[in-house]
Amino acid sequence: MRETLKVLGREGTAECCPVPANDGNLATFEGSSSKGECHMVPKRRKPARRALLDGNFARRKLPLREHEYCIWDTELAGFGLRVRPSGNYFWFVRLRHRGKHRRITLGRTDELEARLARAQARRILAEAALDGLPKRAVVKATPTMTDFVEAYWDDLSRVWKPSTTKRNWAAWRLTIKPTFGNTRVADILPPDIHRWRDGCAGESEVKYNRAVPVLSALFKYAEALKMRRPGSNPCRGMPRYKRPSMERYLTPAEYRRIGAALREVEVDKPAQVAIARLLLFTGARVGEIANLRWGWVKPPRLMLPDSKTGPKVIWLNTQAQDILAGIERREDSELVFPNQTGQRPVNFEMWWYSFRRRCALPDVRIHDLRHSFASTAIMDNVPLSTIGKLLGHKLVETTAKYAHLSDDVIGEAAERVSGSLAQAIGLRP
């Protein structure tokens, strides 16, 4: 008996009625049963009033009662129509929100259409069901890429070096803006980047490789400004085009050819010749030597306050010190290699393009002098760690690209050793 009540509900005896234990036996004589012997049978609940709550049903004349009653929708659970004794009908929605039952009135049937009331009820029920779950961040309307760059470029480029800012601005103006300039910041997706990458195949692969990091930096800054969702950078994981290696190493014959050509033009172009020789003897970058100032010259080293990798020390060998000692210092400029006005460095790169043709080496870049410096050091059995310090590398991985050159040195040494041993044991004369 108790188990039955427990299963049927917690309403108590108020929802039940007593039935004699032998009520089913019609042949029992009257008075033969004891009133104390009976079963408690639950009352059958009245079925809920249900109907399809649409405009036609709301326009019907429904029966009125002393107390209001509800009619529930047959399709959307929780959506109902409340009929009051006054004859007014109200749309409402009943839901359970955070452990409590709530009834929200949506409006009168003569003021709110059934279709709109059903849509509001569905939205309210959905919001209650999703309450407490993570929500997608709502991104407001964002500016176009052109407007974004015009507004925030100065803030973003403040952390870049001047040369980097100049190069990145060219990448934006020439490569990125024609494709994405009129698109809103939040509307650019990874498929758009893939189509842009595919369109750059061929002659524009180098431009794409230089521009995609700039575009990625723009999206990263947009995320910081809440213009894009965190982690939505469409450039993340986007592969670059593989390009053939541009490393070029000078041979001893090419060194002699460059040296002879430098002696021929030394009288006419002393500053450019001095820069070229310092690049050969130090392995420094062209900007570190061309922009050199007298205040940074501290023999036997150059103390650069800033470089591509930050503050840097360039060690000067005897030949490099002799070159700097032979340069006449101008009183109107702090630059070691100023132009005629003394305000800017001499334009070494334009001179190099014509000079390398004079040497019959049209494929030798200025940066190849730095690679050749490292190659010569490898050939002289200088450890990679020491070469990294001479070149100013911050990471060991940067110097490791020269490791294949040391393999040739080791191979030659092994060949010499094995040849001496072979001769010693009489395998070859």
Per-residue pLDDT tens over the stretch 301-347:
899 888 887 888 888 889 999 999 999 888 888 999 999 888 899 99
The answer to whether residues 63 and 37 belong to one domain is no
Higher pLDDT, 174 or 415: 174
Is residue 348 in a domain? yes
**CA 154-155-161 angle, 5° bins:** 70
Is residue 90 in a domain? yes
Write the CATH number for 77: 3.30.160.390
Is residue 307 in a domain? yes
Residues 300/321, Cβ–Cβ less than 8 Å:
yes
Is residue 427 in a domain? no
Residue 163: pLDDT band by 50, 70, 90 thresholds? confident
How far apart CA 193 and CA 21 sit, in angstroms, is 81
- Cα dihedral 173, 176, 179, 180 in deg (nearest 10): -100
Task: For residue 267, list its beta bridge partners.
Answer: none
Is residue 424 in a domain? no
What is the enclosing helix (H) or strand (E) of 104?
Answer: strand 100-108
The answer to whether residues 21 and 113 belong to one domain is no
- For residue 328, the 8-state DSSP code is P
Radius of gyration of the chain (CA): 43
CA 141 to chain centre: 20
The answer to whether residues 260 and 363 belong to one domain is yes
pLDDT of residue 12: 41
What is the average pLDDT value for the chain, to the nearest integer? 82
- Side by side, which strands form the sheet with 89-97? 50-51, 69-73, 79-83, 89-97, 100-108
The answer to whether residues 257 and 380 belong to one domain is yes
pLDDT of residue 8: 36
Residue 27 above 70 pLDDT?
no
Structural domain for 341, as ranges: 252-411
Residue linked to tokens 């460059």: 258
Residue 105 above 80 pLDDT?
yes
Write the CATH number for 257: 1.10.443.10
How far apart CA 351 and CA 363 sit, in angstroms, is 15
- For residue 134, the 8-state DSSP code is -
The answer to whether residues 260 and 385 belong to one domain is yes
Specify the number of domains making up the chain: 4
CA-based nearest residue to 228, from 199, 185, 181, 190: 185
Residue 122 above 70 pLDDT?
yes
pLDDT of residue 295: 92
The answer to whether residues 259 and 186 belong to one domain is no
Is residue 230 in a domain? no
The answer to whether residues 257 and 217 belong to one domain is no
The answer to whether residues 281 and 311 belong to one domain is yes
DSSP β-ladder status, 100-108 and 301-304: unpaired
Supply the pTM of this predicted model: 0.55
**Residue 71 three-state SS:** strand
- The average pLDDT across 256-273 equals 92
pLDDT of residue 198: 93
Residue 134 above 80 pLDDT?
no
Residue 172: pLDDT band by 50, 70, 90 thresholds? very high
Residue linked to tokens 């995609």: 212
The answer to whether residues 35 and 65 belong to one domain is no
pLDDT of residue 249: 83
Is residue 139 in a domain? no
Is residue 67 in a domain? yes
The answer to whether residues 103 and 62 belong to one domain is yes
What is the enclosing helix (H) or strand (E) of 264?
Answer: helix 252-265
Helix axes 205-224, 145-157, angle to 10 degrees: 80
The answer to whether residues 364 and 267 belong to one domain is yes
- Side by side, which strands form the sheet with 301-304? 297-298, 301-304, 312-315
CA-based nearest residue to 58, from 8, 6, 111, 124: 111
* 52: its two tokens: 């399809």
- The average pLDDT across 62-79 equals 91
C-beta pairs of 173-180 under 8 Å, 24+ apart in sequence: 174/207, 175/200, 175/204, 175/207, 175/208, 175/210, 175/211, 176/145, 176/211, 176/214, 176/215, 177/145, 177/146, 177/149, 180/145, 180/215
The answer to whether residues 351 and 382 belong to one domain is yes
Q: Which of 95, 129, 163 is the last residue of a domain?
A: 129
Residue 287 above 70 pLDDT?
yes
Side chain identity at residue 417, one-letter code: V
